[in-house]
Every structure is written in C-alpha cells, then in structure tokens.
Amino acid sequence: MVKIHSFVVGVLSTNFYVIENENAFSVIDPGGKEAVEITTQFLEKGLKLKHVLITHAHPDHIGFAKSLLKLESKAKVFTHEKTPDILPTFLEWAELWNLPYVEITPKDIETLKDNDVIKIENIKIKIIYTPGHSPDSICFYLENEKILFSGDTLFKYSIGRADLPFGNIELLKRSIIERLYSLPDQVHVFPGHGNKTTIGFEKKNNFYVTR
C-alpha cells in the first residue's frame, strides 16, 4: 500500500515528499538540507531509494538532489528533458540569491518526457508536462491512487509564479486548464509549497484559473 510522507524543507519552505511502497521509496523535490537527513532515516529502515524526482530545476526544489545520490549509489535523479539546458541559469540564480545548492550536472540526471511512466514496485507514476512556471515543469501523477504532485504549477487557491527566469503566465494557465483540470475532481493535489488540495476544489475556488 502506498504511503505519502510530507515534510517542509529549506529556506523557502519547499514541500519534500516521500512515496513509500512495499520495500522501496522515491522522493520528490529535495530542496533543503533536511531532505538528506529524512532520506537517511528511510534508508535506515531497510527501504530502497528508487528515484529522486524533480518537478522543476529551481534551486529550492533540486538543491540537494546530488547529495541523495551519495546515500544510494543506484538511485537516479529524474527531471524533464529540458532541465539540462537551463541548469546553468538556475545555478547562477542560486548563487545570486545565496540559496544552499549542491551543484548537479546533466550527467547526474535521467530525463523524462510527457506521458512517460516510472514505477515504485507496482505503483505507476505518470509524467505530465506542465510548462509555465519553468520550461521543465512536470507533475507526477499516480492515477490509480488519485494523487498528483504538482510542483509549483498549481497551489491551493493559487498558481506558480511566472516572473522568474523563463516563466510564461499564459503557458502556465494553459497547462493547468488543459492538463490538470482535465483530471478527475477527486484527485488529491500535493503542491511544491503550502497545503494540499484537490482538482475539484481548485476548479471551483482558484481565483487565478477557474473552470
């Protein structure tokens, strides 16, 4: 049975998620150093780290991904296929904002594209490409469990910023309307910051993008 564990990490209060299933687990967005200690605790339980999943390459989401590779040599970091092209810009951004960041390079990354599927044992995770907040923004969708990890694309009552490097507000809204609001209303949304919500709730109550 899948278990979702949620933690707040880093100076920008990023939601760091652990998806546990049977004897394995994957993590999403290790944007703070606390993610290293949390992951270590799960490894000490005898669980195997399968994936380090990144919703987008902003420093507060990818910042400590490389540190997790040192904990589990067989684990891999998965990001969108556009991430390697924009990593240098986000590294400069981390330095400018003085954000903690363990430099990761394209050779450390396995890339994903829209509609790809990865597995944690028997749990399927579908990739939904949702550009706008960043060109490499993706969501992780557990269809059978009706769970979506939305990164900084969709928040409770809100949406991601589009005034950061490579942001595009119209593309962001289109991603939400066409890709996320087409999911069942019952889908639970676990965002990159803040409280969880549902697709149905946001369709009715989100001031920025309603349907």
pLDDT at 192 > cutoff 80: yes
How far is residue 18's CA from residue 15's CA, in Å, rounded to a whole number? 10
Burial class (CB in 10 A: 0-12, 13-18, 19+), 112: buried
Q: Which of 92, 65, 76 is nearest to 166 (CA)?
A: 92
Residues 130-186 pLDDT 10s: 999 999 999 999 999 999 999 999 999 999 999 988 999 999 999 999 999 999 999
pLDDT at 72 > cutoff 90: no
- Report the share of the chain in percent with pLDDT over 70: 100
Residues 90-114 pLDDT 10s: 888 788 878 888 889 888 999 999 9
Domains and CATH numbers, the chain: 3-205 (3.60.15.10)
Strand order from edge to edge, sheet including 123-129: 117-120, 123-129, 138-142, 147-151, 188-191, 197-198
Between the two ends of the chain, the Cα-to-Cα distance in Å is: 33
pLDDT at 74 > cutoff 90: no
